[in-house]
Structure 1
Amino acid sequence: MRRDVALTCPPTVRRRGILAGLLRWSALSRQRRQLARLDEAALRDLGLSRSDVVREARRKPWDAPAHWRD
């Protein structure tokens, strides 16, 4: 978001945007923790290896694919 545009938005709109972002980060962190708890059989069903899951679980909440952020 451009800074000049953000400054022209009412504070409530900016807060909603920030809150929505925090909620998305929280949800993504929770999903990654749940993924990390899956057993080997479930990972096999998903076509994932344990190393794939460990790598994904270590990512920061804001490190998400662009299509997840929309």
Structure 2
Amino acid sequence: MLTLTLQRASRARPAKSLLSRVIQARAVARQRKALADLDDSILSDIGITRAQAEYESERPAWDVPQHWMK
């Protein structure tokens, strides 16, 4: 029996430029502000509470999940 194992090619990605990081941080800040501005009925439609929305909107723009940075 033949068994194949696939592995992702390990290529080093170039570091993001400072400009792209600033653009991403501004986008995150805008999205978090928009989340805070939603009314309670829309928040319940997407399955989060007002407290969760406020918590998320108060996080700094650079505080994002690691997979967003790829």
Q: TM-score range by the shorter chain?
A: 0.7 to 0.9
Aligned to 1:34: 34
Please tell me the residue identity of whatever aligns with 2:32.
Answer: R
| 2:48 counterpart residue number | 48
More helix by share: 1
Give structure 1 stretches of 5+ with no counterpart.
Answer: 1-13
Counting only pairs closer than 5 Å after superposition, residues 1-70 of structure 1 correspond to structure 2 as 17-70=17-70
Following superposition, which runs of at least 4 residues in structure 1 exceed 4 angstroms of deviation? none
Is the radius of gyration larger for structure 1 or structure 2?
Answer: 2
Provide TM-score, normalisation by structure 2. Answer: 0.76
Q: For structure 2, list consecutive stretches of 5 or more residues without a partner in the other structure.
A: 1-14
Tell me by how many angstroms 1:69 deviates: 1.4
* Corresponding pairs, count: 57
